[in-house]
Structure 1
Amino acid sequence: MTLPVGAAVVLGRRTRVAGGGSALLGGTPTRLMRLTPRARALLDGRTLRVTSDAAALLADRLLESGMAEPVVDTLPPPDDARCTYVVPVRDRPGALDRLLTSIGDGQEVIVVDDASRDGAAIAIVAVRHGARVVRLEVNRGPGGARNAGIAAATTPFVVLVDSDIVLEPDTVPTLLRHFADPRVAMAAPRIAGLGDRSSWLGRYEDTRSSLDLGPHPAALRPRSPFAWVSTACVVARRAALADGFDGDLRVGEDVDLGWRLFDAGWRIRYEPSVLARHEHREAPLDWFMRKVVYGSAAHGLAERHPENIAPAAFAPWAVVVVLALLAQRRWSAPVAAAASLVTAGRIAQRLRPVDGALRQGLVLTANGVVAAVAQTMSLLLRHWWPVSLLACLVSRRARRAVAAAAVADVLLEYRRDAAHLDPVRFALARRLDDVAYGAGVWTSALRARSLASLKPAVVRSAGDAGHRR
């Protein structure tokens, strides 16, 4: 089962063409793919168009390794593109009306009323838009409500969309194209804010929302920079959702579903060229508590997916680099540099006889150092902040490390994302975001009397290390 003739894939932005075109370096985890002369001839620059069985097999291999992304405009829509919109809702009739208006007329829509206090108001809105209502007498949470809607659907595809979303006209048709790949189970758009925010927290959310996965297309892969996808808005192949969401999870159910689908051999695509608009929370207490709730998902996921939940993942050599830098001794920089150079040499040795093997080894090692430092900053400021705070009370080195991490985080993130918010309020929002999320992680861990969700992982390959949610 491969992409159809006429489809095209393009090498990802982090995939390097090495050895004069004889090999590709990239993917998740990072690997070297040597190309035969026949395979090299199939590539037109960084694009591969499916024109034969051989091209289809190479395209599939590039997608599976994470070295390439499909060109969505070249993918045909499914032969049977019928879909049912499944909308879980509890109260919020005004938001539901806004969503159903954006979906438009003539669509199959199932509104799952998850035990609303005013079920009549939900029913009135749904009927006015021609939607079918499935009423749950006991609140089941978002996962259970979606399961009820999926069970009631009969079309090949379902669009799972929350009531606080506004859909754009091209979002669902574009996402449906990804199902030209028979291994795709779900496709998700980029989730952006509604815009026109007056509050500073609203403007922060518009640039740093937990639901916004950024501007670059990707495929979900646990323990990678793109490790999860929100089901606030996704298109899914109904047959792939036979087991549905874990009804026992009230938060993190989308992460769990994505990881189970990945383990079953399915692909999940993220397509940022199309948008779903989300009504972000911006009232301070409401916003803060939502971040706490997101963090509280950690332990439930640790019980189900202990191999994927680590808040950071380091290669052994990166552990040496990070510990040396945290020690803040005269020998710290030389030890970190030596570990990095040895690693670069080992990578270069594995890349030979590709031309420029040493340069590629140095680049990959430098990227690994940056990733390790970034993850350490996240641990200090986000996941481990209670420990960092206690350490700062007794250690000057801890205070320097935390201060440096906080300043570097704001400088890097503000320059990239915060065009409509001054640096001071951006910095405050960043720290509150981290405190809230970390509080949720620690609360769930202490309640369960387990620190599994707080333990970083040591991995054998540097390519396995990546940022976490």
Structure 2
Amino acid sequence: MRLNHRVRVKDDGRVLVGGAPTRVVYLSEVARRLLVGGILRVTDDTTERLADRLLENGMADPVLAALPAAADASVTVVVPARDRPAALDRLLGSLGSGIEVIVVDDQSLRRDDIAHVVGRHGARLVRLPINVGPAGARNAGLRLVSSEYVAFIDSDMVVDPNTIPMLARHFADPAVALVAPRIAGLVEHGRAGWVSQYEEARSSLDLGRYPSIVRPRAPVSWLPAACLLARVEALDGGFSDDMRVAEDVDLVWRLAGRGWRVRYEPAVQAQHEHRVRIGDWLARKTFYGTGAHSLALRHGHNVAPAVLSAWSVAAVLALLAQRRWSLPVAGAISAITAVRIASKLGRSSHPMRLGLWLTGSGLVSALAQTGELLLRHWWPMTVVGCLFSKRLRRAVLAAAIADAVVEHRRTDSALDPVRFGVARRLDDLAYGTGVWLGAVRGRSAKALLPDVRSLR
């Protein structure tokens, strides 16, 4: 096991700060000695209990290369398909031999072409009488699976023959129900336009370079269904048939709610054929946004576009006012909060120092989430507000520039900063439009409301 990159070690290794959600953990002397350089080797009951605690807190991640190979794991691949026979042929060719594959034809217009590809690769074909969408098609395949594990892979993916065996190593932990690889863009000759370059760095399906536990409010809070490996017994019927979008988020959150662990493993990668035409790209981003309404009805505040504490809301509002008193008031609110947090950290050697650090981190997070609200989820209201308020215009400009600079550096995009910034804003506008469309159609603002929580 290795401590998560977001975990901060304080007080000479006696205190860990991090996890999902963020918490402070005090280590016993025995536990501190077992964590050498942030590494924990599981060798007996004591180290196993410590590893389990750190895993569940989201503070540590398994080192994939150190996990035992799942040599006897039986896996069936389920591929939902609707037309795109060339892409399906490419996927089936990438899987390698000796693996059972079920292709579910979800009412393709090119049925014969799909059947020809499936037959040539020796896969099993299931034809649905009506179009049911990706969730329903996956479930139709799942009902035919008799193996211990199932891999759901979309037809526009390309995987390596080692993808599934490497992901299956995570099932050495009996609490793991679902695991997914990092999804990168499929680079094809002649398709290196600015949208393609942006998607390569900032795709909605790419969840970053660091491993993580996956659940609501975690840094990685969902997994794309484009490529998933699951324990069949944990799925309990699979995806929600009535969801045409965000069915993957819903599945992850239901599994987490039942006590299963879900893992994101970027040490394993698969490739996805990203949309590179601007119209298709924006339409897909908008479509993703419409799923927020369905998730809000099923999972309440877990889908909130921002999670803020009461003190951070007060501090951010003071800063947004842009008055002479703004900085002193925000500073006073933060100082009071730091003192209150420090009073709860009596077991730390430096409670005030730790309280200040936690408060500062919370304020930075609140500012980032506020910027995201203004630029992404609430952009229609932001546009109206900017027509009347110079201060809001300044705040939006600062948020847009800061976000573009930070994301450009974080993703190491090959796209120049200006075009990256433009693409980033178009991404936000399209997704935010989808959120509003879902809210208007469903006559509910649940997906637009932040979750403001009192000080814990």
Matching residue within 17, 25, 44 for 2:17? 25
- Between the aligned partners of 2:383 and 2:304, the Cα distance in structure 1 is 21
Would you say 1:41 and 2:33 are equivalent positions? Answer: yes
Q: Deviations over 1:391-436 (max 9, x none)?
A: 0111111211111111111121122325321222212111111111
Using the TM superposition, give the Cα deviation of residue 361 of structure 1 relative to its aligned residue in structure 2, in angstroms: 1.8
* Counterpart amino acid of residue 25 in structure 2: M
Alignment of 1:57-76 (within 5 A): 57-76=49-68
Q: In structure 1, what is the Cα distance between the partners aligned to 2:382 and 2:195?
A: 25
Equivalent residue runs for 1:41-440 within 5 Å: 41-78=33-70, 80-196=72-188, 197-440=191-434
**Structure 1: unaligned runs, 5 residues or longer:** 1-8, 463-469
CA shift, 1:102, in A, is 0.6
User: Is the 1:80–1:156 Cα contact (8 Å) retained in structure 2?
Assistant: no
- Whole-angstrom CA distance in 2 between matches of 1:32 and 1:450: 36
Native 8 Å contact 2:106 2:130 kept in 1: yes
Give the distance between the partners of 1:327 and 1:215, measured in 2 at CA.
Answer: 37
SS of 1:352's equivalent in the other structure is coil
Q: Which moved more, 1:138-147 or 1:222-231?
A: 222-231
What is the distance in 1 between the residues matched to 2:135 and 2:262? 18
- Cα pair 2:148 2:233 within 8 Å, conserved: yes
Equivalent residues of 1:77, 1:179 under 8 A apart: no
Cα distance in 1, alignment partners of residues 277 and 15 from structure 2: 52
- Contact 1:296/1:441 (<8 A) preserved: yes
Query: Structure 1 stretches (4+) deviating beyond 6 angstroms?
Result: none
Q: For 1:443-467, what per-residue CA distance to the aligned partner results, in whole angstroms no more than 9, with x for missing partners?
A: 11011111110000012457xxxxx
Cα contact 2:197–2:413 (8 A) shared by 1: no
Q: Distance in 2 between matches of 1:398 and 1:19?
A: 41
Counterpart CA distance in 2 for 1:353 and 1:193 is 47
- 8 Å CA contact 2:104, 2:128 repeated in 1: yes
Asked if the contact 1:158/1:236 (under 8 Å) is kept, the reply is yes
What amino acid does structure 2 have at the position aligned with 1:372? A
Tell me, in whole angstroms, the C-alpha distance in 1 between the residues paired with 2:410 and 2:238: 37
Unpaired segments of 5 or more residues in structure 2?
none
Equivalent residue letter for 1:369: L
Q: Secondary structure at the match of 1:351?
A: coil
SS at match of 2:126: strand
Tell me how far apart the structure 2 counterparts of residues 42 and 419 of structure 1 sit (CA, whole Å): 39
8 Å contact kept, 1:193–1:279: yes
Cα distance in 2 for partners of 1:419, 1:253 equals 29
**Is the alpha carbon distance of 1:461 and 1:135 closer, same or farther for their aligned partners in structure 2, counting shifts above 3 Å?**
farther
Question: Deviation at 1:79?
Answer: 5.6
Amino acid at match of 1:405: A
CA distance in 2, matches of 1:199, 1:21: 48
- The alignment yields a C-alpha RMSD, in angstroms, of 1.4
Residue 343 of structure 2 aligns to a residue in which SS? helix
Q: Give the Cα–Cα distance (whole angstroms) in 2 for the partners of residues 87 and 77 of structure 1.
A: 24
Contact (CA 8 Å) 2:20, 2:217: kept in 1 or not?
no
Q: Report the number of matched residues.
A: 454
Is 1:315–1:461's contact at 8 Å kept on the other side of the alignment? yes
Question: What TM-score, normalized to structure 1?
Answer: 0.94
Deviation at 1:134, TM superposition (A): 0.9
Whichever residue aligns with residue 80 of structure 1, its letter is D
